[in-house]
Structure 1
Amino acid sequence: MDSPTPGPAPVYRAPREWTRLHPVSPLIGGWAVFGVVASIALYNYAPSWTGPDPGIQEAAHWLWHSVLWVVVGAVILVGLAMGFGYLQWRVSEYRLSDVAVEHRKGILFKQHKQARLDRIQAIDVVQPLLARIFGFASLKIEVAGGENSGIALEYLRLGDAEAMRNELLALAAGVKRAKAEGREATVDAVLTADAVAGADAAVTPGDGSAIPGDGSATLGDTSPGEPGDQAAYASAASLRDLTRGMPRGVAETAAAPEREVFALELGRLLLSIVLSWPFLWICSLPVWIGVAVWIFPVDINQVVAAAGASLFTVVPVVFGLLGYFWSRLTTGYGFRAAISEDGIRLRHGLLETRRQTVPPGRVQAVQLQQSLLWRRKDWWRVTINVAGYQDDQEAVSTLLPVGTRQEALTALWLVLPDLGDPDPAGTVSLALSGTGAEGGFTAATTRARLFDPLQWRHRGVRATDRALLIRRGWLVRDVFVVPHERTQSLGLEQGPLQKARGVATFTVHSTNGPVRPVAQHLDLADAVALMEAQAVRAAEGRRRQTPEQWMTAVGVKEEQ
């Protein structure tokens, strides 16, 4: 018997007409109702049996009624949620137009959002656990704007989400390039031929800047396309022709090629969590309780009774600590960083996976941090402020969860390939481990000992041709790096005691995020001079810096 002839391979593409999200979207988004019901039940009923000496009969009675009410409540609430979700799905549509991604939704209150192609800052493909199991994803499109200015398409098939992301990245780059060259751009005209050829183009070492610590490893040119403007801006019809015969589940617009820079091992991630202060405090808690019971004459039964009665006082604290560990684990699990012409690509996540692209020029500030417990292994954590992520900054702020000094330097190089210093590695190393005026830093004055007796020697600031470096810390070392062109504004503060001692605090204001560059307790004259000079450097940096310069510096050369 002959095997059946395979049907035509489906090609995922971004819809040009109004299209609904996938019909399973209400089901994927409704599972959280169970958690709400369980939380309400625990809050209302659990205190009746968690006091001292609960009876078995009372506990069994509570358990039976609680399970019954949880089941009934879950059925009712889930039914209502699914019904409301279905109505929302019916009125939620999206499409890709010539100039923007459009999304309209709303039952009682209608909402119509547009994310203009030339204003797109980042596009992430996010898969929560349930969506990941069944092959769906949420596409989050961040644009330059205020709070809630982005678009979230929840949920699409993973192939649709990837295709939409690939095409939007190509379109956004083409629209911005055409706009810079003073030409009109449409969807069909902007789709580039090398976006399709990139699926087969190998990323090979070229003449780009070397990755720190990798003697010869660079990201060179992709396979060149035909010269001229026609080849650079192919039509959408030709793209569809090129996709014929592709394997099943291929996106119409292929993702740009990439080169992996570093990946985090699970063993190192777990060890870094163990070598953290919260973990040590939890492990030492039984010891402290035992010492307290041994020193003070306390009846152990009273301690147990008090612990049972105050269960719901302790639970939030325990969940807070567990949340810290979980956040570190899920953020760093499977963490990988790569570079492509789109920018810095990051992949990570345990239950919820996230694939994000940080475009060049969107990183506003960088922080390298090392705790005392990591010092023996010389591990560092690198966090960033990314412009455009107005509502989900914490989820995208990690550039390196934990890594060696060389990997931290590589992560910094991804953001700032040219530090503007003859010896960038030496300068950053002195910033990470130096004290006083080492490496040309302007150190905190000795008059700061009154405010900061332990750390004043470790504080300092230095400006290179391309960035401002601020260091601080004794038990926990911190180094802030702010590219001059990303300086939002500057501040100079002086409290009453600082004024009496002739010192001041210099602040570089960045976008919303965990990185807050501050140089404390500088001599007043040094702080004033730094503020004036940094304003000039920031203005000059904004005039000369473009994303294309980032591509050249990291070895990604875009064919024109």
Structure 2
Amino acid sequence: MTHEPEHAGGAGSAPKSGQRVVYRAPREWSRVHPISPLLGGWAVLGVVGSIMLYNYAPTWAGPDEGMVELADTLTSSLGWFALGAIVILAVTLGFGYLQWRVNQYRLGEEAVHQRKGILFRQQRQARLDRLQAVDVVQPLLARFFGFAALRIEVAGGENSGVVLEYLRLGDAEAMRNELLALAAGVKRAKAAGEEATVDAVASSGSAADAGAAQADKASLRDLAGMPEGDVETEAAPEREIYAVPLARLALSIVLSGPFIFLVSLPIIIGLAVLLLPLDLDDVLAATVGAGLFTVLPAVLGLAGFFWSRFNSGFGFKAALSPDGIRLRHGALETRRQTVPPGRVQAVRFQQTLLWRRKDWWRVTINVAGYQDDQENVSTLLPVGNRQDALTALWLVLPDLGDPDPAGTVSAALSGTGNENGFTASSKRARLFDPIQWRQRGVRATDRALLIRRGRLSREMFVVPHERTQSLQLQQGPWEKRRGLASFVVHSTNGPVRPVAEHLDVEDAVALLESQSKRAAEGRRRQSPEQWMSAVGIGE
């Protein structure tokens, strides 16, 4: 028998006026909110709108004439058009209702269970001891009405996690808090009479930050018309570490290569018309003749880049809690991400030529457990000065294992040659890597491997030894002839792909042997408690 969540007034039902609800993670089989089919059904309307745009585009845009004729026939009668719209809406809502009926979930002591499927039944469980991350995601429509999707990522293959779409924001927060508490062993520590990590953090000066976070949640619920209530398991207190100002984010996009190209494109075309024997009418005719569906992908690609950078950095905040690193960001779609310690597998620092004067850096990461969603969760710092970037690295790796960490990181970010103990790229690489061979280099500390490269656009990779997946030496035909090899560190799926290129073969072989030993030793000694102590949690 299916039981509904035990909110006051019943699951999914509106509480009585003035009644205070308690949001909790259900222990019995429960359904997501009944409004979920409506929140998730707008994609169908988007497809229908795209088809209509295609059919009614101007003839020079290249739509199929037969499709245009069919569309004209169907829409010539208002009755047929209304009937078609009603059928599409009914099918969408009906299918969504069936999906909602069979989509159930519950929280057990060791796993989150989900069962769904109409024709083909699926039953999944996300084990708490394999928990990688728990995200509360609010697309624009769900955010407006006070709903959220809960994404539970676990270690495993593709589609190994559980996604609950959609829950009340309070229900999603309660589920996330309970999951993180169970996974971290907080409840077991309290039951055994041990000092709770949450209490230690609360007494370490983070109570004001916790109160501010609760105030933010309250304002969101008021905006969405949610009933006043509490979560059964409160979120662990947190301490904000850094935030990205909107002005800096906007300026960083302006100082990007795609934006400079977009702005300079009319100037380039104008100079071409003035300096080359081109007729302006022919240029305009060729541009229009290219068609909407030829130019549109390029325009959408640039717009997608700008929007991705803006959305991933809007309102960006990073905080520390006993659960791990908490990241909040998003403009139309907001995401609150909690990454437990040790799940960040590799870090990349990037600095473009246009950012060098301000010494701005972008920091991205590989997070274990995420499969196809890396684009949304891979940003640790959208844009920040060098101190912000070093702070972001400290969140992941509090102890670099080096007596002079500042000098080592500085040499990794902007150094050349063998300074600060780096093994540089061989001079024999000048023949086929003349621009940046001096900037290439690699160095291992007691805790991590650092790789640098790039002259115009600088990059630095950091891989904690215990997060090394596998190692490889590569030799292309030119490298083989010159006695060189490239050292590759394999990480989990993500944007960070560390490679130390064009090393002497002897250096590459020695690095392979030593790094294998460091990785094995790192896996033996690393624990979440060490991370918490290093970042000042629980002191």
Distance in 2 between the 1:106 and 1:132 partners?
26
Query: Which of 474, 479, 483 in structure 2 is aligned with 1:498?
Result: 479
Distance in 2 between the 1:67 and 1:527 partners?
73
Match of 2:526 in 1: 545
Identity of aligned residues (%): 71
* 3-state SS of paired residue (2:438): helix
Which residue identity does 1:155 align to in structure 2? Y
- 1:118/1:175 contact within 8 Å kept: no
Query: Which of 109, 115, 126 in structure 1 is aligned with 2:120?
Result: 109
For 1:319-330, list aligned pairs within 5 A: 319-330=300-311
Distance in 1 between the 2:78 and 2:460 partners?
52
**2:284 is the alignment partner of 1:283:** no
Match of 1:94 in 2: 105
Match of 1:401 in 2: 382
- 1:25/1:154 contact within 8 Å kept: yes
From the superposition, tell whether residues 286 and 525 of structure 1 become closer, same or farther in structure 2 (CA, over 3 Å): same
- 1:117/1:175 contact within 8 Å kept: no
Match of 2:360 in 1: 379
Q: Deviations over 1:388-440 (max 9, x none)?
A: 11221111000000000000000000000000011112210111010001111
From the superposition, tell whether residues 112 and 448 of structure 1 become closer, same or farther in structure 2 (CA, over 3 Å): same
What is the total number of aligned residue pairs between the two structures? Answer: 498
For 1:66-465, list aligned pairs within 5 A: 74-174=85-185, 194=196, 201-204=202-205, 248-310=228-290, 311-465=292-446
Q: Deviations over 1:89-131 (max 9, x none)?
A: 0111111112211111111110111111111111000000000
Q: Deviations over 1:163-201 (max 9, x none)?
A: 0000010011118978xxxxxxxxx969999588689x3
Q: Deviations over 1:494-547 (max 9, x none)?
A: 112111101110000000000000000001100010010000000000000011
Which residue identity does 1:87 align to in structure 2? L
Gaps in structure 1 of 5+ consecutive residues: 52-57, 179-187, 207-217, 220-246
Return 92-101 or 74-83, whichever deviates more.
74-83
Match of 1:232 in 2: none
From the superposition, tell whether residues 289 and 26 of structure 1 become closer, same or farther in structure 2 (CA, over 3 Å): same
- 1:345/1:357 contact within 8 Å kept: yes
* 3-state SS of paired residue (1:261): strand
How far 1:47 sits from its partner (Å)?
Answer: 4.4
Query: Which of 500, 504, 509 in structure 1 is aligned with 2:490?
Result: 509
Distance in 2 between the 1:70 and 1:418 partners?
66
- 1:14/1:164 contact within 8 Å kept: yes
How far 1:263 sits from its partner (Å)?
Answer: 0.3
How far 1:46 sits from its partner (Å)?
Answer: 1.3
* 3-state SS of paired residue (1:458): coil
How far 1:34 sits from its partner (Å)?
Answer: 2.0
**2:448 is the alignment partner of 1:467:** yes
Return 343-352 or 425-434, whichever deviates more.
425-434
Distance in 1 between the 2:363 and 2:383 partners?
7
- 2:206/2:237 contact within 8 Å kept: no
How far 1:72 sits from its partner (Å)?
Answer: 6.4
Return 527-536 or 31-40, whichever deviates more.
31-40
Superposition RMSD on alpha carbons, in Å? Answer: 2.8
Q: Deviations over 1:448-477 (max 9, x none)?
A: 001110100000000000000000000100
Which residue identity does 2:390 align to in structure 1? L
- 1:171/1:191 contact within 8 Å kept: no
**2:41 is the alignment partner of 1:41:** no
Return 400-409 or 293-302, whichever deviates more.
293-302
From the superposition, tell whether residues 525 and 16 of structure 1 become closer, same or farther in structure 2 (CA, over 3 Å): same
**2:41 is the alignment partner of 1:30:** yes
How far 1:379 sits from its partner (Å)?
Answer: 0.0
Distance in 1 between the 2:77 and 2:510 partners?
67
From the superposition, tell whether residues 398 and 26 of structure 1 become closer, same or farther in structure 2 (CA, over 3 Å): same
Q: Deviations over 1:208-237 (max 9, x none)?
A: xxxxxxxxxx99xxxxxxxxxxxxxxxxxx
How far 1:8 sits from its partner (Å)?
Answer: 4.8
- 1:399/1:411 contact within 8 Å kept: yes
How far 1:39 sits from its partner (Å)?
Answer: 1.4
**2:14 is the alignment partner of 1:13:** no
- 1:37/1:73 contact within 8 Å kept: no
- 1:195/1:253 contact within 8 Å kept: no
* 3-state SS of paired residue (1:255): coil
Which residue identity does 1:204 align to in structure 2? G
From the superposition, tell whether residues 362 and 73 of structure 1 become closer, same or farther in structure 2 (CA, over 3 Å): farther
Distance in 2 between the 1:72 and 1:450 partners?
70
How far 1:299 sits from its partner (Å)?
Answer: 2.9
Distance in 1 between the 2:309 and 2:338 partners?
20
From the superposition, tell whether residues 170 and 374 of structure 1 become closer, same or farther in structure 2 (CA, over 3 Å): same
Q: Deviations over 1:48-68 (max 9, x none)?
A: 1558xxxxxx9xx99x87999
- 1:170/1:195 contact within 8 Å kept: no
Distance in 2 between the 1:421 and 1:522 partners?
23
Distance in 1 between the 2:78 and 2:204 partners?
57
Q: Deviations over 1:347-373 (max 9, x none)?
A: 000000000011100000000010000
- 2:60/2:289 contact within 8 Å kept: no
Gaps in structure 2 of 5+ consecutive residues: 1-15, 63-68, 211-226
How far 1:78 sits from its partner (Å)?
Answer: 2.9
* 3-state SS of paired residue (2:258): helix
* 3-state SS of paired residue (1:512): coil
Which residue identity does 2:102 align to in structure 1? V
From the superposition, tell whether residues 66 and 302 of structure 1 become closer, same or farther in structure 2 (CA, over 3 Å): farther
Distance in 2 between the 1:504 and 1:315 partners?
42
How far 1:249 sits from its partner (Å)?
Answer: 1.7
Distance in 2 between the 1:377 and 1:322 partners?
25
* 3-state SS of paired residue (1:470): strand
Which residue identity does 1:307 align to in structure 2? T
Which residue identity does 2:254 align to in structure 1? V
Distance in 2 between the 1:402 and 1:74 partners?
46
Which residue identity does 2:168 align to in structure 1? R
Match of 1:236 in 2: none
- 1:343/1:357 contact within 8 Å kept: yes
How far 1:45 sits from its partner (Å)?
Answer: 3.4
Distance in 2 between the 1:16 and 1:256 partners?
21
- 2:197/2:322 contact within 8 Å kept: no
